[in-house]
Every structure is written in structure tokens, then in C-alpha cells.
Amino acid sequence: MATEELATHFSRARAGLQSVLSRLRKAAPQSARETLVAALCDGLRSIPVPLVGGFLARLAEDSLKPEHKGPDLEDILRVIEEMEASDKQFGEGLRRLGVDVEELQGDLAAIRDTQVGAEFRLARVTVEHRWPALDHRIGALLVNRGGGLVVMDEVHLDVEGWTALTRANLSVPAAPLAVIRLKATLDTTTPSYPLFALNGEGPHQFAQGLGAEKLEIDLDSRNNARYRLRLRLSYYDERADLQREFSWPAVGEPPFELDFPWAPGWGRDMELLDASGVLADTEARLEAFARWLERDGDPGELQAIGISEYQASPGFIRDGFVRMVEARIASHPQASTTLRALVARLEAAAAART
């Protein structure tokens, strides 16, 4: 989408914003704060540009929650009022409130290019592999480009199979971890996850031509496994008066896969599948690392062991790695005598290689 087309979207959104604020200013003297915020959010959602109004409304609603971490309502309103002035200030205001405007441009292009007549679908689906530093993330746009109103009741995540992973991830953090607030936790005994119900989400409405919303699902796992997964979205089609659903990937296509190896250095507590196999593989790799330290090995050999060069170099990260081996690997109830003894060997080798 060209920059000029994005500016056109901003102009439409700004006109809608001006109308919303004009009505609120007239009602303000006679209305309670809660009533004004509700009216503001309803008005923002009516802005005729998908994603923009919904984002601003959610931001305002979240500012009233006790646990909110973002800007206060007064700060949000101040920025929104400044966004009335021009399309340039509208875009700058979105950035100040946390919108990635370049990503928004791509999202709006995807909505525009969605084939008219497909009433409800996912667009721009992405699967980000971020484990173990963060949870894996599925991202998408929910789009209604057909007639009538769609009410999405639920998003199901179905597990179509899993395989135990016996190779642990032995990396440790090189920087502080980001905070993840909403997620679903998988395990190998649960075949399906109703994600709206698990996260306290009510139904979402998508009006004709305007309905669009970002969907982000963060996933971790109680078990070390490779999962084969499929999303299944249940919704009510008002025009046809029917309950419908669709899947991604589509039925008949292979499911997508996500790996969750045991990653003890990242504080990922797991109920290990095939624990003996996991610990045997880990013991062999830690023995190889001890030998590497003892002979002052070449850094190029570390990749085969599955240990990053930064955590093998002298310093607090390597010292923390050895402490992690002692606290989270060698202390496992099924750890062998050899694995427990490796701690002292690693400490001695590390101390000699400073």
C-alpha cells in the first residue's frame, strides 16, 4: 500500500475521531466518568478504519484496569486530542501510543486485498518460533469482508499429534526476559484449547467491510514435545442465521508444528516425557562441553554440542550456566551419578580456563 493510501486511511480515521470527540465534549458536563469512557470506547470502535478504532478503544479500556501497565486515561485523551489536528499528527499520535505504523500499513493492505465474498477469514497469519526465550506466538488478522455481521464465539487450538523431544536446549539468557501476560499452556493430554474461554474473552463482532482485529496467541508447554496444531474458529453468521467454523491451516492441509524442548536455563519447568532419554542426551553433551573446556577447544566446535559461544566464554554468564547445570539438571531425580559428578568437573575446567 502506498504512503498516499495510508494517508487516506488516516484522513478517514481522523474525521471519525473528530466526530467522536465532538459528541463527547457536548455530553461531558452532564455525564459521569464511567459513562464518558464507555461512550468514548463505543465511538472509537465506530471509526471507519479497521484496527485503528479498536486499538484506541482497547487502550482506553485497559487504562481503567487496576493492573494496567500502559499510559493513563488522561494521557491517552491528551494524545487523541492532538491527533485531531492533522494526518501527520494522527500518525505520530498512533506511534506515541504504541502502534507500529509500518505494520499497520501492511495489515490494512491485507484487509484491502482480502477477496470480497469470503465472509470471515484469517489474513497475514504468522507463526513466530521464539522458544525458550519467549513463548511461541501465532499472529493473524481476523477479517470480515462479506455481508452482514459475524460474531466470533471461540478460537480453538486443536492438537492433532505430538512427539517427545529428547534434546534439551542448554542455552541460558544473555539479557533480561520480556514479560508475557496472556498465553495458553499446552500439554500432551489435552486435545483442544478454547482460547477465548481460557483467557476470559467474550465474543467479538465483525461488521460488514469494517470488521478486523489482531489476533495473537502465545503458547508454552508443560511437556517437552513437538506439537502438530490447527486453529479452528467458531462464529455465528447473522445474515445466514447459521453457526459456522473454519480452520487454519485448512482441513486437508498439514497442521503447523511447534517445538518445545526442555530449556532448564530459562526457568521453564516441565514434566519431562522420556526423561531418561532427555538426561542421557544432556549428559553426553555436557561431557563433551567439559572436554572442550579442558583442552581449550575451538569455538567452532560448540555448535555441534548445542552450546552458544557467549555462554562458554569466561565471565558471569558461563558461571551462571554451570550453576544452572547443578541446580536444574544434575539435581533431577533421574540424573545419573556421572551427570551429578559433571558439575565439579565443569567448575574445575572453567576455573582453569579464565
Q: What is the pLDDT along the chain (354 residues), one digit of tens a residue?
A: 446 666 677 787 788 778 777 777 776 666 566 677 777 777 777 776 667 777 777 777 777 676 666 677 778 788 888 888 888 888 888 888 777 777 777 777 666 655 444 467 787 788 999 898 888 999 887 777 666 667 778 888 999 999 999 999 988 876 555 544 457 999 999 999 998 888 887 777 776 555 567 788 899 999 999 999 999 988 887 777 778 888 999 989 999 999 999 999 888 889 999 999 999 999 999 999 999 999 888 988 999 999 988 888 888 888 888 999 999 999 999 999 999 999 999 999 888 876
What residue has cell string 544452572? Answer: 324
Residue 7: its pLDDT value, please?
Answer: 67
Strands 242-248, 225-237: pairing kind: antiparallel
At 71, which amino acid appears? P
Closest CA to 108 of 42, 48, 155: 48
Euclidean distance between CA atoms 323 and 2, whole angstroms:
53
What pLDDT does residue 287 have? 94
Collapsing DSSP to helix, strand or coil, 337 comes out as: helix
Q: 10 Å Cβ neighbour count for 8?
A: 14
Give me the residue label for grid cell 495489515: 107
pLDDT at 102: 77
CATH for 114-266 (1.10.3470, 2.60.40, 1.20.120, 2.20.130): 2.60.40
Whole-Å CA distances, 332 to 32, 263, 286, 325, 329: 58, 13, 15, 10, 5
132 CB burial (10 A radius; 0-12, 13-18, 19+): buried
Mapping DSSP to helix (H, G, I), strand (E, B) and coil, where does residue 228 land? strand
Cα separation, 301 vs 322, in Å, equals: 19
CA distance 130 to 137: 7
Largest CA distance in the chain: 79
Task: Name residues whose C-beta falls within 8 Å of residue 12's C-beta, 6 or more positions apart in sequence.
Answer: 48, 49
List, in sequence order, every beta strand (DSSP E) within the chain: 121-128, 136-143, 150-164, 184-186, 192-194, 204-206, 212-221, 225-237, 242-248, 256-260
Answer yes or no: are the C-beta atoms of 248 and 142 closer than 8 Å. Answer: no
**What strand order describes the sheet that includes 212-221?**
121-128, 136-143, 212-221, 184-186
Q: What are the CA-CA distances from residue 76 to residues 60, 66, 96, 346 (Å)?
A: 7, 16, 10, 53
What local confidence, expressed as pLDDT, does residue 66 receive? 67
Q: Where are the domains of the chain?
A: 3-106, 114-266, 275-352
- How many other β-carbons are positioned within 10 Å of the β-carbon of residue 166? 19
DSSP 108: H
Nearest to 296 by CA among 321, 315, 314, 310: 314
